[in-house]
Amino acid sequence: MTTSKRKRLEKLLTGEKADRPGVALWRHWPGDDQDPVELARSTIAWQAQFDWDFVKVSPDSSFCVECWGARSRWVGNNEGNRQYVTHPIEMVDDWDTVRPVDPLSGRLGGQIQCLEILGQEFAGETPFIQTIFSPTSQLKYLAGKDRVLVEMRTHRAAVEKALQAITETTIRFLEAMKQTGVDGIFFAVQLATPHDLTRGEYECFGRSYDLQILEAAADLFWFNLLHLHGQDAYFDLVADYPVAAINWHDRESRPTLAEARQQFAGGLVGGLRQWDTMLHGTPEDVRCEAADAIAQTDGRGFILGTGCVTPITAPWGNLRAVRQAVEIYG
């Protein structure tokens, strides 16, 4: 009897073995991500081609900050990310313009439309989760990375007021998402690395706002996945977040998958290098790395994927090898 995707994931998210390890890759859709209907169509085609165990919906990062004046453009980035051409925060007084907004307006409302289309298409058969950027990530898009790091340290009160508005808007957006049938969120945390903020700074500017959003999401959805972005990220600082699974750059930064299993009891998502293996490697490289990842976890609570987004130019033979690996080694 074939196991449904949801039943497989529910077992894996408790740290147990299922009929096989899970598998999912996600990518950006430059150009298509500017239109909710086209983004939905590309997402549906991606799933039809590879039959992943879940779908991550990937709008460009500016979808959540255009309401405050941020603007971006597509210039050919290999990850499919857009380049910001306007950061609306240019001086300290600009933080006061970041106030709560209607989650059904502008690009936010467009993303609800995209999720409605996907909810009708997947209809409970394929779990799908919406990308949500953490409040500190949204700060970076609003001010630019260099400026936001300085502003956090020199104008704390103004930055915290903006963080509160971003958090309130994001929670309202989650509540609006619920009616689309979406199964959870892919919560992208940035700046939680010693290369950006100290541990104490992230506890101040990141953790408390992250938890407000994740606690709201836990009341709304069953499958919430944390993506911890960046080298040497503070894994132990987020290992107690109320999420079902964690994804991080496990091949480039500690902890390894085996080490992470000792720190987090839920699902572990990763095992594949996005550049060396998925972009520059061969299908055999993919299979070897996948086999090692499955061995590290004994397949328990494990979903094979990349440590970050799959490059848009990754060879399709490599993509097919990922999907086949869980059947071969699982």
Q: Give the pLDDT confidence of 129-186 residue by residue, as tens digits.
A: 999 999 999 999 999 999 999 999 999 999 999 999 999 999 999 999 999 999 999 9
pLDDT at 330 over 80: no
User: What type of residue is 45?
Assistant: A
Please report, rounded to a whole number, the percentage of residues in the chain having pLDDT higher than 90.
98
Residues 6 or more apart whose CB falls under 8 angstroms from that of 204 comprise none
Spatial CA neighbour of 265 closest among 237, 251, 246 = 246
3-state secondary structure of 169: helix
Tokens 């898009």, residue? Answer: 141
How many structural domains are present in the chain?
A: 1
Q: Rounded to 5 degrees, what angle do the CA atoms 271, 277, 281 make? A: 150
Output the six-digit token pair for 204.
């101040």
Using CA atoms, how far apart are residues 37 and 111, in angstroms rounded to an integer? 9
The domain that holds 276 is classified in CATH as 3.20.20.210
Give the mean model confidence (pLDDT) for residues 98-103.
98
Q: What pLDDT is stored for residue 1 in this prediction?
A: 58
Residue (of 322, 270, 268, 306) closest to 79 by Cα position: 306
Q: In which domain, by residue range, is 122 found? A: 5-329
pLDDT-based confidence at residue 124 (cuts at 50, 70, 90): confident
User: The tokens 């090692």 sit on which residue?
Assistant: 292
Q: Per DSSP, what are the bridge partners of residue 246?
A: 226, 268
pLDDT digits 0-9 by tens, 303-329 = 999 999 999 999 999 999 999 999 998
CA neighbor of 114 nearest in space, from 195, 168, 180, 191: 180
What's the pLDDT tens digit per position in 253-278?
999 999 999 999 999 999 999 999 99
**74 CB-near residues (< 8 Å, 6+ apart):** 30, 31, 82, 83
Instruction: State yes or no: pLDDT of 290 exceeds 90.
Output: yes
pLDDT band at 2 (very low <50, low <70, confident <90, very high): confident
Residues 21, 304 contacting (CB under 8 angstroms): yes
Which residues of the chain form beta strands (DSSP E)? 22-23, 55-57, 71-73, 83-86, 128-133, 184-189, 225-228, 245-248, 267-272, 302-306
